[in-house]
Amino acid sequence: MRHLRGSSIGGRRGGLLIISCAAVLFSGCGMLHGLWGKGAVAPPAPTKIEGPAEKGARPVFPPVVSSSVASPKQAAQNDSPQHGLSPTTPPAPASETAAAPQAKPFRAPERAPLPGATRIAPPVAVSPNVPVYRDTVLTEDTVWRGEVVVEGSVTVSPQTTLTVEPGAVVRFRRTSAGIGAGPLLLVQGRLVARGSADSPVRFTSFFPEPQAGDWEGIVLLGSEKKNALEHTRIEGAAVGIDALYSTLSVRDGGIYSCGTGGRFQDSIVSVSGGEVAGCDVGVEFAESEADIRDASFGRNRAGIVLRGGSLNLEGVSAAANDRFGLAAVGGRIRVERSIFDRNGTGLVLDGCEGGVSRGRMAGNREFGIVLTRSRVKVVANEIADNEAVGLRVDDGKGVAWGNVFARNGRYDLYNAGSEEFRAMANWWGEDSPVAVGKRVFGAADEPGRGRVLLAPVLRVKPLLPALNYVAK
């Protein structure tokens, strides 16, 4: 006879998760211009893990703010008490609630301007051998080598290719302060920058220590050619790579100290290897097709953001990001052999479909995984040592099996909705559904909430695949 364990969350369902308060969550590194620069994804601030003050008290789940790209319909739904999620803390078990402090509501942080947007590079004598481009349009195929200085904009016109040779250093010199006034490289033709491990290509600020916003970035506008960046380092831009209706492949690159590392709208992008670090938002995709393998996203405020389109992650590491490793709304996802650890929350999926398999969600300050309105299968993952909850679900659209749950703070699994959630054939460190039930929150804890179907539980811990930690 199957054992049914109820699950639920007290009170209102916690607000949408990530993309519904249009102005806060999506402000990324160079989009960050109204909120963080130009206006993209600004993820929610980390919240303290706390429970209700008294036994039986309903927990407070502050709303997760979302992005300016949310549709009017989504925005209306976000106001509904049953829509959304917010990475905060569920109530403690009955034995703990008396001592647990009341959870604090979420408050969006104030946005600071990009530091580089206000500083102007001082006049510097440039060697006669160093070409300086000032508001230039390239109409013939051009090769950059050695050192190049850009002031204002350089536009690569359609049918034109700009090739940057190994070891080249392209410095962008800001001559006037203000958002949108920085130098940039606009590509309507084709950009090929192929460095090497020993001689990478650098696109950087004119300052010796780049800061986000020193220059605008590389913009691919309607460039459906075979744009390619290999062993290329981008530093100090508002948006490192800003691609609209374009195609790009990136191999073993690095993006550092930018507002948004990469922003892709209606584009096709493939990434193999490399790192994005020290940005407000690592990378953001809107209605794009993205394939990312063996890359690292670490020490950003937010790691990866998806709004529609499709995203394939394989062998990826998202570690030590302040807010979340991956936040996705309304997209198709495939996450395999990837690591999400030491973030605010590992993965936040809202309105998605696809799968998360053979990965590790461990040591996150709040949740390992959050599922809201998502037809996602969670299979063969290690979900452990997350400070609040291992897996939080808001409905029964998803399913979890073959996973290892261990040492998560309040609960291993928390059902915040009224629908039944199926979590059969997982390993919980206990071989009895009754014992496992103490680590699962559901209908048995609060009437009217959805049950969690646990039995059969795995009696032997499954052997999970070894993961290649690609973080630098």
Whole-number pLDDT of residue 112: 52
298 closest CA partner among 271, 312, 272, 317: 317
Q: Which H, E and C letters describe 291-310, residue by residue?
A: EEECCEEECCCEEEEEEEEE
Q: How many CB atoms lie within 10 A of CB 137?
A: 13
* Placement of tokens 């301007």 in the chain: 113
Q: For residue 254, list its beta bridge partners.
A: 233, 275
Q: What is the pTM of this model?
A: 0.78
Whole-number pLDDT of residue 431: 77
Domain ranges of the chain: 132-279
| Tokens coding 156 | 């690569």
390 closest CA partner among 425, 443, 455, 346: 346
Angle at 457 between CA 451 and CA 460, to 5 degrees: 155
Q: Which whole-number Å values give the CA distances from 116 to 303, 325, 391, in the listed order? A: 21, 26, 39
Whole-number pLDDT of residue 469: 57
Q: Which residues does the chain have with pLDDT short of 70? A: 1-112, 468-472
pLDDT per residue as tens digits for the range 179-205: 778 999 999 999 999 999 999 999 999
- Report yes or no: 415 and 450 within 8 Å, Cβ to Cβ: yes
440 closest CA partner among 429, 454, 426: 454
